[in-house]
Amino acid sequence: MSATNYPNVFMLRQTNQLLGLYTIIRDRNTKRGDFVFYSDRIMRLLVEEGLNQLPVKPTTVKTSQGHEVEGFSFEGKICGVSIIRAGESMEQGLRDCCRSVRIGKILIQRDEETAQPKLFYSKLPDDISERYVFLLDPMLATGGSAMMAVDVLLKKGVKQERILFLNLLAAPEGIEAFYKKYPNVKIITGVIDQGLDENKFVVPGLGDFGDRYYCI
């Protein structure tokens, strides 16, 4: 599957550096410290690509030598919203690129009785409807949690066009489901994998991201 099949899906350029980074974090023998370090590098690239997608407007500034230069400035404010807990790993990458950025949080967990995602908690900036939102979650598998998170944002007045969903790894099934429901939300991903197995895990994948990042 190619990102070009969907106009609002953007995959990082598959450079030698990026391919090397993914090889490290996919390796089950990679130690936690290295997994965190190289995952953080990919997250920073995802944030940079997300920022590339934001609209700008013309502006004029003066240089230290007194010359006027025509340039651009971002049109609006941004904020991050992480899907707890794995999404919280991406917050620092956003802070590294955007000083004093506001961060919201959404907790969605699987209901053991229905096997469906269930919203347990959300805390978002009061003015979130006026901001561009970077929705943060490392893995896009079925898309269930991410779509529920988008529902929460829409109910708070955020427009689809102002939501950018950042993830390290995406399954084609998740992208398709997400795009059908929210065609105007931009997906920024590092790589699109082969698909989902019978247990709805991304393959070849890299394991449970939250466990590898925080625990092992």
Q: Choose, from 110, 111, 151, 197, the residue flagged as catalytic.
A: 110
Residues 120/107, Cβ–Cβ less than 8 Å:
yes
One of 27, 111, 127, 211 is an active-site residue; which one?
A: 211
Considering 26, 44, 85, 208, which one is annotated as catalytic? Answer: 208
Output phi, psi for 13, to 5 deg.
-60, 130
Residue 208 falls in the annotated catalytic set: yes
Query: Rounded to an integer, what distance in angstroms lies between the CA atom of residue 13 and that of residue 120?
Result: 36
Q: Give the residue among 146, 141, 179 at the shortest CA–CA distance from 165.
A: 146
Contact 83/145 with Cβ under 8 angstroms? yes
Is 13 in the active site? Answer: no
Pure H helices in 144-216: 144-155, 172-181, 209-214
Tell me which of 13, 63, 114, 126 is the catalytic residue: 114
Tell me whether residue 113 is exposed, middle or buried, using C-beta atoms within 10 angstroms of its C-beta: 0 to 12, 13 to 18, 19 or more: exposed
Q: What is the distance between the alpha carbons of residues 94 and 98, in angstroms, rounded to a whole number?
A: 6
114 is catalytic: yes
Q: Which residues are catalytic?
A: 110, 114, 208, 211
